[in-house]
Chain A
C-alpha cells in the first residue's frame, strides 16, 4: 500500500507548473479574454510543444498513455493558472472517450494522433452539461443523442454563444442533427462511453477547482502579508488568519479525496462514481470557501476587476455546477451511502 505519487509524477507536475507560470500569466489571460474566440492558438501551440496534449493518448498512437491519477495533478495546475483553453477537454476527457472507441473505427487513430500533435480541438457535449464548453473553436464535437455518441465536424453544427461570468469560459448551445455518418457508438457501448466520460469530466473540473482554491489562497496569503492597517499587516489579525486557515484545511482534505477518486476511475472500481462525486463536492467546497474568504480578506481590492483574484473566483463559481451541480453529486453519494447494499465496513476505503 502506497497512497502517494512517484517522484516522476511530482517532477512532471512541477515542470507543468513552471511552464504555465510563464505562458499563462494573468495579464495574458486578460488579453485572451478580449479576443473574439477567447482562445490563443499560440498558447495551444506551446502546450502541444510541451507534449501536454499527448498525455492521455495511448502510446500506440504516439501519446504518453498517462492515466487519471497523473491527470489529477495536471488538472490542479490547469486550475491554478486558470488557463483559458480547453486542453483538459480535448487531451483528457475527449482523448479518453476516443481511445475507448473500437480500434476498427477508421477515424479513431487519426483523431488520437491529432490530439497528440495538438492540431485538433475537441469539445465534449455530455448530457449532464446543458451547454457545451468550447464548442465554438472546436474542430470536432462529441455529442450525445440518447445513448449514441456522435463525432460531429464543427461545420455541421451551429453554436449559440451563452457568455459566462468567467470570461475564460466559452459556452454554447449546440444545434445539430444526428446522422449515420457521425455515429461512432450506440446502445450499450454508447452508454458505457458516456458513463466513463462523465467520471473523467467530473475529475477534470474537480482538479481544476482544487487548483483554483490553492491559487486564491496563495494570492490571499501574499496580499494579507503585505497590506497594512492599524500599523500591522492585516494577516496578523486573528480573524484574517482564521479565514485563510479554514481554506487551507478544506484544501488539504480535498486533495486525497481527489486522488482516491482518480485512482478508482483509472482502475475502473465499482464505487468510482461515488468517489468522483465525493471529490467534486470536496474540491468545490474548498474553491467556494477560498473565493469567499479570499475576497473578504482582500477588502475592497478583491471586489475590483483589476485585482487578479476575480479571475480565479469567477472561474470557481462557474465550474462549481459544471459536470453536475451539487445536487447531482450529493444524490450520487446519498444513493450509495444510504443504499441497502452499501459496503461501508473496514477495508472498504481502498476496496477489497
Chain B
C-alpha cells in the first residue's frame, strides 16, 4: 500500500484545478432539463473537449487524454469541487462509451466516440418501456431485419432529455420469436429518422426532463448495431455493473455535496442544533462520502491489477443513492421553514439549489436499476441466497 499521489498525478490535479478556476462559468447555467439549459451545457462540454478534459480516460485518438482511473478520480474530485456544470451528455459518454470501446468495430468507434466526447452528438438511453421497467427483459419494441436495415416498431419511455438529444441507444427485439434476454439487439438510432415521435414527460420539478419515444417503421442501418445480432443483452450488461456503480456517480460529486452540507450546517449551527439528529447526519454524510471515495480508490487499484468487478458493483448504487438522499434530507431539515421555497422566491437564497437536489435525489433509488432490484442482486448473486 502506498497512498502518496505520484508527481504526475499531482501535476494533473494542479492543471485541472487551474483550468477549472479559469473556465467554470461564474453564474450557474440554466437547468439542462430545458432546451435553453441543454444548449448551454452542450456549449460548456465543447469547452471541456477543446481543453481535452471532457473524457480524460479515453485514448487520445478518440478525443481523450489516456488517463488512468486514479487520474479520472482526481479529475472528478476537482471537477465537482469547482462547482462546474453537471455533465449533460454523460449517459452517452459514461454508459454507451465504454460499451462501444468493448464491442464496437473500429469504424463505429471512429464514427461515434470523438463526436460523443465533443458533445457534437448528444445521446439518450432507450431501455425502459411501459411494461419493461425493473423487468427489462420484457422489452417488446421490435427491430426486424429487412436487407441492410432494421425496421423499428414499438415504444420506449423515461428516456432522459431525449427531446433535446440527437441519438438514442438501446435494446430492441430483433428476433420476434424470442423471449426474455434472448433475441435482443443493441442499436443506435438517430432521433431525426422518419417515424420517430418523441413526446416529453414532465418530471417532479415540472420540467420536461424525460420523454417517451414512439417508433413507427423506423429504418435503421445494420451498421448501427453494436455487437452481434440477438446478443444485445450481453452487450448491454457487460459494462453495466461498473459503469452504473462507479462511473456514473463518481465520489467527487458526493464529497462536494457533503462539504456543502457541512458549510450549511455551520452557517445555521444554532438553529440546527435544536435537532440533535442533524449534527449526526452531517457527520455521517461526510463519513459516507469519504467511505464511497475510499471504496472507489480501492476498487480502481484492484482493477489496475487485473481484477474484474463483479456483482458487488450493486452495492455502489445503493450507497451513493441513499447517501445523496440523506444529505439532501438533512439540508432540508437545516433549512427548516425555508426549505420549501423554490428559486423564484425572494427569500429562498441558497436553499433552492438544495430543494432541486432533494427532488432529484428522490429518483436516485429508482433509476439505473431500483435499489430493491440491487438488493435482490446482492442477496442472490453476491451472497448466493436462494431465489424467491
- Interface hub of B204, B338, B371 (most chain A Cβ within 10 A): B204
> Given A239-B372, A317-B332 in contact, is the A163-B345 Cβ separation under 8 Å?
yes
- When C-beta atoms are compared, the residue in chain B nearest to A228 turns out to be B131
Give Cα A260 to B201, complex, Å.
44
Encoded as 1 (CB less than 8 Å from any B CB) or 0, chain A from 304 to 340 comes to 1110001000000110111001111011000000000
Q: Specify which of A173, A325, A330, A331 lies most central, judged by the most chain B CB atoms within 10 Å of its CB.
A: A325
- Residues of chain B with a CB closer than 8 A to A3's CB: none
User: Smallest Cβ distance from A325 to chain B, in angstroms?
Assistant: 4
Residues of A within 8 A of B342 (CB): 163-165
Return the chain A residue nearest B271 by Cβ: A327
Q: How far is the CA of A3 from the CA of B299 in the complex (A)?
A: 58
In the complex the two chains form, is A305's CB within 8 Å of B278's CB? Answer: no
Q: Are A173 and B333 in contact (CB under 8 A)?
A: no
A240-B372, A295-B362, A328-B274 are known contacts. Are A131 and B337 too (CB-CB below 8 A)?
yes
Q: Mark B307-341 against chain A: 1 for CB-CB distance below 8 A, else 0.
A: 00000000000000000010000001101111111
Decide: A130 and B274 in contact? CB cutoff 8 A.
no
Inter-chain contact count A-B, CB under 8 Å?
122
Using known A-B contacts A299-B133, A303-B362, determine if residue A321 contacts B339 with beta carbons closer than 8 Å: yes
Q: Does A296 contact B (CB under 8 A)?
A: yes
Chain A contacts for B131, CB-based, 8 A: 228-229
Given A163-B344, A295-B362, check contact A300 B158 (CB 8 Å).
Answer: yes
Distance of A320 from chain B, by nearest CB (Å): 8
- Other-chain contact of A303, B157, B337, B363 (Cβ < 8 Å): B363
Residues of B within 8 A of A230 (CB): 134-135, 138
Tell whether B170 is near chain A: CB-to-CB under 8 Å.
no
- Contacting residues, chain A, for B147 (C-beta < 8 A): none
Q: How large is the interface on A (under 10, 10 to 19, 20 to 34, 35 or more residues)?
A: 35 or more
A36–B273 alpha-carbon span in the complex (Å): 38
Per the bound structure, the CA–CA distance linking A163 and B348 in Å amounts to: 9
One of A131, A164, A300, A325 near B333 (C-beta < 8 A):
A325
Does A238 reach chain B (CB closer than 8 Å)?
Answer: yes
Q: List the A side residues contacting B300 at CB < 8 Å.
A: none
A162-B346, A295-B362, A321-B336 given; A304·B203 CB < 8 A: yes
Contact string against A for B residues 102-141, beta-carbon threshold 8 Å, 1 for contact and 0 otherwise: 0000000000000000000000000010010111001000
Give A227-243 interface residues, CB cut-off 8 Å to B.
228-230, 234, 237-240
Q: Is A169 an interface residue (CB 8 A)?
A: yes
Q: Which residues of A contact B146 (CB under 8 A)?
A: none
Report the Cα distance A96→B154, complex, angstroms: 60
B174 CB to nearest A CB, Å: 23
A296 lies within 8 A of B370 (CB): yes
Considering only CB atoms, which chain B residue lies closest to A240 in the complex?
B372
Interface membership of A129, Cβ < 8 A: yes
Q: Are B347 and A131 in contact, with the CB atoms below 8 A?
A: yes
A117 at the interface (CB under 8 A from B): no
| B367 on interface, CB distance cutoff 8 Å | yes
When the two chains form their complex, are residues A303 and B348 in contact, meaning their CB atoms are under 8 A apart? no
A161 to B346 alpha-carbon distance, docked (Å): 8
Q: Is B366 part of the binding interface, using a Cβ–Cβ cutoff of 8 Å?
A: yes
> In the complex, how many angstroms separate the beta carbon of A155 from the nearest chain B beta carbon?
22
Q: Name which residue of chain A comes closest to B365, CB basis.
A: A296
Give the contacting residue for A317; candidates B338, B340, B376; CB below 8 A: B340
Residue of A at shortest CB range from B210? A300
Q: Are A330 and B370 in contact (CB under 8 A)?
A: no
Kindly list chain B residues whose C-beta atoms are within 8 Å of the C-beta of A171: 340-341, 345
Contact A327 B340 (CB under 8 A): no
Q: Is the CB of B337 within 8 A of A129?
A: yes
- CB pair B347–A173 under 8 Å, yes or no, is yes
Of all A-B residue pairs in the complex, the 8 with the closest CB atoms, nearest first, are A327-B274, A305-B202, A325-B336, A327-B275, A162-B345, A318-B340, A239-B372, A229-B135
Show 8 A/B contacts (Cβ-Cβ < 8 Å), sorted by A: A130-B338, A163-B345, A164-B345, A165-B342, A304-B201, A321-B336, A322-B337, A327-B273
- Give the A-binding residues of B (Cβ under 8 A): 128, 131, 133-135, 138, 157-158, 201-204, 206, 210, 271-276, 278, 325, 332-333, 335-342, 344-348, 355, 358-359, 362-363, 365-367, 370-372, 375-376, 388
Additional 14 contacts, C-beta under 8 A, given A321-B335, A327-B271 = A165-B341, A169-B340, A237-B372, A292-B325, A295-B362, A295-B366, A299-B366, A300-B133, A304-B203, A305-B206, A318-B340, A320-B332, A330-B274, A331-B274
* Interface set of A (CB-CB < 8 Å, partner B): 129-131, 160-166, 169, 171, 173, 228-230, 234, 237-240, 292, 295-296, 299-300, 302-306, 310, 317-318, 320-322, 325-328, 330-331
